[in-house]
Amino acid sequence: MVKKNIVLIGFMGTGKTSVGKILARELKRPLIDIDHRIEETEKRKIAAIFEKEGEAYFRAIEKKAVTEAAAREGIVITTGGGVVLDPDNMAALKKNGTVIALMATPETIVQRVKDSAHRPLLKGEDLPGRVNDLLEKRKAQYAQADLKMDTDGQTPHQVAVRILKELSR
């Protein structure tokens, strides 16, 4: 029997990577983290890729990594927040998988990402403004997920437990 992939999408700081690790462990499934895969292939950090090559280059290699991961089955896939910008990515991930969007309010996101230096799109002045703008531009895409999970005030473990419950229905 084909086992559908479990795919986590969502804005930066919604906990995709942490929740994905727990899901993969609990379900005994391989985990592919797209950003991690990109850094391995490119042998450099995401921030360095953005800085040296620009966002368009990053999106192209991100698409390649998504296409490869989405073609597998029975795995957990965690994505970067901008994966949803390309409709081909969403279509590929949905074809073989249950796509789950992790959601959080802008205020929660700002709290969670304010001390992280590795996110090129959030660098610079006015973090709340940037978060709001990007969220606004992407919310319709996140809404296309098969399942949406609020994460405000919850630990990654609590979110993972709720996802496992939903998946076993």
Does 127 bind ligand S3P (CB under 6 A)? Our answer is no
What are the Cα distances from residue 29, in Å, to 21, 74, 79?
Answer: 10, 7, 16
Select from 35, 66, 92, 160 the one that contacts ligand S3P (CB under 6 A). Answer: 35
Pick 43 or 169: Cβ nearer ligand S3P = 43
Select from 4, 29, 42, 121 the one that contacts ligand S3P (CB under 6 A). Answer: 121
* Burial class of 43 by CB neighbour count within 10 A (0 to 12, 13 to 18, 19+): exposed
Binding mask 81-110 for ligand S3P (x = CB under 6 A): xx----------------------------
Binding mask 47-66 for ligand S3P (x = CB under 6 A): --------------------
Does 119 bind ligand S3P (CB under 6 A)? Our answer is yes
Tell me the three-class secondary structure of 42-73, residue by residue: HCCCHHHHHHHHCHHHHHHHHHHHHHHHHCCC
Stretch of residues binding ligand S3P (CB under 6 A), selected from 63-71, 80-88, 101-109, 157-165: 80-88
The residue written with tokens 């910008």 in the block is: 85
Answer yes or no: are the C-beta atoms of 77 and 5 closer than 8 Å. yes
Pick 35 or 110: Cβ nearer ligand S3P = 35
Select from 26, 44, 112, 120 the one that contacts ligand S3P (CB under 6 A). Answer: 120
To the nearest whole angstrom, how small is the minimum distance from the Cβ of residue 165 to ligand S3P? 24
Taking the C-alpha atoms of residue 82 and residue 60, their distance in angstroms, rounded to an integer, is: 12
The residue written with tokens 């700081």 in the block is: 13
In the three-class reduction of DSSP (H, G, I as helix; E, B as strand; rest coil), residue 86 is classed as: coil
Binding interface with ligand S3P (CB under 6 A): 12, 16-17, 35, 46, 80-82, 119-121
